[in-house]
Amino acid sequence: MFDLGKVHIGVLGLGYVGLPLAVEFGKKYPTIGLDINEARVQELKEGRDSSLEVDPVELQQVAHLSYTSNLDDLKSCKIYIVTVPTPINEHKQPDLSPLIGASHALGKVLKPGDIAIFESTVYPGATEEVCVPIMEADSGLTFNQDFFVGYSPERINPGDKEHRLPTIKKVTSGSTPEVADFVDELYSTIITAGTHKASSIKVAEAAKVIENTQRDVNIALVNELALIFNRLGIDTLEVLEAAGSKWNFLPFRPGLVGGHCIGVDPYYLTHKAQSIGYQPEIILAGRRLNDGMAAYVVHSIIKLMMKRGIATNSNNVLVLGLTFKENCPDLRNTRVVDIVTEFEDYGARVDVYDPWVEPDEAEQEYGLRPIMELRDGEYDAVILAVAHRQFKEMGAEKIRALCKKNGVLFDVKNLLPVSDVDARL
């Protein structure tokens, strides 16, 4: 019934997840990438990727890949792969609107025998409880009779040039045993690291959502240890390095927890847990602690400034880095903005500098425009918030030079030697 020789793939969403996926499939199969952002489609047609996930040379050499913003262009496809974002709203509840929109779009193009595969992170059950009914209603087709569904959660790590899509093991699943086998076989043709076929879509959904929940809880533990050690006058990184001399100690580090996954995915799991009558304890406690780290950083810096006689209601502050992680332009759910907001609440004037960020994108997303040049001796406090390689190359002396004579240098990322900064996590 399902034949790899007749595969024609449509990828919905060409962001950090969708584009690398479309590129890999486009090397082997006729593939169409769809994105509702026409500017994104145009840049890809011109061989440019502003996310920096795909090298321009590789992008221009893909044999069977085309791009469109027109849904009708996908009607010839037999396999549809959904890679739209699944964010949270202001109340920290799952925002399924992009996923719902994609499901409605699929309902307009599905044909008998088609398979829709979802890669977006969701809570267990979402694919079959939310997406499938929409596709059935809009297409007039019957699930698992006329069309089928698979789920293979994304594992893209933005900015990571070592762990790429083909070298990361892929979880697969399908709505019937035959579909599960086919989905697994399909991904096996592009994933050199191999696949893991789950017994059901729900298992695959749950596996994805706990990957980042586990990391979130572990980072929360280390963040809490940092709060304790700070009060004890002990350097946290020194403690972690000492403990890390044991072979099975997990090498987590304290810091801000943002991004499209770790700071978001746990809320999908807790939402589902609460809907079935269970109140999560550890997961939500970890989320609260991690969400409060920016305020802790700012309060620590304010105390240092007060000890040095620096006015806290009229100072100049520089934040180095805005992206949610180092060496990539990804601004999604960055918690660096919380540092900016906290300082502004104290009356500070805050500049942000990030060589990886497009100022227009930052202004559109967060209402702040990064500066383009650094000025020595200008700031009462400098916060090293993201460990970009450019900041590492600057070194402590050049970063310290940005401060006024008695200014404070705080290292959130433990990038500089402890002897060269005034404080760090």
- Using DSSP, how many helices (H) and how many strands (E) does the chain show? 15, 13
The C-alpha atoms of residue 337 and residue 294 are separated, in whole angstroms, by 9
Collect all residues with Cβ–Cβ distance below 8 Å to 292 and sequence separation of at least 6.
none
Question: How far from 230 is each of 105, 239, 322, 355, 419, CA to CA, in Å?
Answer: 52, 11, 25, 31, 16
Surface-to-core class of residue 250, CB atoms within 10 Å of its CB (0-12 exposed, 13-18 middle, 19+ buried): exposed
**What residues does 94 pair with on adjacent strands?**
88
Q: Interior CA angle at 349 toward 345 and 354, to 5°?
A: 105
Copy the structure tokens of residue 338: 């919380």
Residues annotated as catalytic (active site), given as ranges: 261
Residues 150 and 176: beta-carbon distance below 8 Å: no
Residue position matching structure tokens 């310290």: 400
Copy the structure tokens of residue 140: 């007039």
Residues 88 and 267: beta-carbon distance below 8 Å: yes
Surface-to-core class of residue 11, CB atoms within 10 Å of its CB (0-12 exposed, 13-18 middle, 19+ buried): buried
**Residue 147: DSSP 8-state:** B
The C-alpha atoms of residue 140 and residue 111 are separated, in whole angstroms, by 10
Copy the structure tokens of residue 194: 């191999």
- Helix or strand holding residue 317 (H, E): strand 316-320
Residues 114 and 106: beta-carbon distance below 8 Å: no
